[in-house]
Amino acid sequence: MSDLSQNILFEHPLNEKVRTWLRIEFLLQQLQNSHSLTGLPNTLGFFRCISELLDIIDRGDVRTELVKELERQQQKLMQWIDVPGVDVERLNALRHSLKDMSNVLLAAPRLGQALKEDRLIAMVRQRLSIPGGCCSFDMPILHMWLHAPKQERDKQVSDWVETMEPLNNALNACLDLIRQSGHFQKQTSLNGFYQDNAEDCDILRIRVDSAHQLYPQVSGHKTRFAIRFMPFDSELGETPERFSFDIACC
């Protein structure tokens, strides 16, 4: 069995900013895989995903935080410019790419505004909180849209998703650089417990062998964290006295 199939990667945010970013990433990934809606079940999943994404964006200034992070990453890259052996050309290319993403994000319309102003999305959002509220008799407009030519629907869905590209590109760049800043190290928990310091870190990445049938419950913040490994089967499962896992503080 390959290493990829044996290991499960868990991620845990160490501050509220990254907690929000990981949730947005989770929703954007679902949108990126929903370009072709073939029926009511995955269509409702698509609209529910948009609704949750807009709710999260409304709770804070996501654009400002991402621009700050893009600038911070550019400054970190500048610290490597005089280090012997560094590929300066590649470093500068990455810096310029981050700067371009920042400019595009700043120039883009208000995040999610185009989706909020869409009549169909707005009507579906209003009904999603009602159990079964998107039945054909409750939402004939949605029922009619589902019977439009597939090519037209696919184009409209693609246009909706495309409005989030500035956010998606900037977020992916920030999270990729954060993740790459940490390296996995082998650690051992005692009786299912492990704790350590996490000074100036944003994400914990925990890699667990699936054969152990254990998952991590993490409590922590930007300076310290604790992990309790729990058995998947809470009644019959057991946590070994000593348990090895890989962890990266990013």
**CATH class of the domain whose range is 16-181:** mainly alpha
Report pLDDT for 2: 42
Evaluate if residue 204 carries a pLDDT over 70: yes
Report pLDDT for 158: 92
Phi and psi torsions of 89, nearest 5°: -60, -45
Phi and psi torsions of 176, nearest 5°: -65, -45
Report pLDDT for 5: 56
Report pLDDT for 87: 77
- Measured in whole angstroms, the distance separating CA 248 from the mean position of its chain's CA atoms is 17
Q: Report the mean per-residue pLDDT for the chain.
A: 90
Phi and psi torsions of 102, nearest 5°: -65, -45
Q: Determine the straight-line distance between the first and last CA of the chain, rounded to whole angstroms.
A: 28
Tell me the C-alpha distance between 120 and 47, whole Å.
Answer: 10
Evaluate if residue 228 carries a pLDDT over 80: yes
Q: Give the 3-state secondary structure of residue 216.
A: strand
Evaluate if residue 227 carries a pLDDT over 50: yes
Please state which architecture CATH assigns to domain 183-249.
Answer: Sandwich (2.60)
Evaluate if residue 241 carries a pLDDT over 80: yes
Instruction: Quick: pLDDT tens for 111-123.
Output: 999 999 999 999 9
Tell me the C-alpha distance between 191 and 230, whole Å.
Answer: 10
Instruction: Quick: pLDDT tens for 1-59.
Output: 344 458 999 999 999 999 999 999 999 999 988 777 888 888 999 999 999 999 999 98
For the chain, the structural domain boundaries read 16-181, 183-249
Report pLDDT for 199: 81
223 touches 185 (CB < 8 A): no
- Measured in whole angstroms, the distance separating CA 50 from the mean position of its chain's CA atoms is 14
- Mean pLDDT confidence for 57-68: 91
Report pLDDT for 4: 47
Tell me the C-alpha distance between 48 and 42, whole Å.
Answer: 10
Q: To 5 degrees, how large is the angle CA 246–CA 235–CA 189?
A: 25
pTM higher than 0.95 for the full model? no
DSSP string, 198-214: -TT--EEEEEEEGGG-E
Report pLDDT for 221: 74
Report pLDDT for 68: 93
The percent of residues above 90 in pLDDT, for the chain, comes to 66
Report pLDDT for 237: 74
- Kindly report which listed range (41-50, 152-161, 201-210, 235-244) carries the lowest average pLDDT score: 235-244
- Mean pLDDT confidence for 133-143: 90
Report pLDDT for 165: 94
Evaluate if residue 148 carries a pLDDT over 80: yes
Give the H/E segment covering residue 235: none
Closest CA to 212 of 182, 184, 189: 189
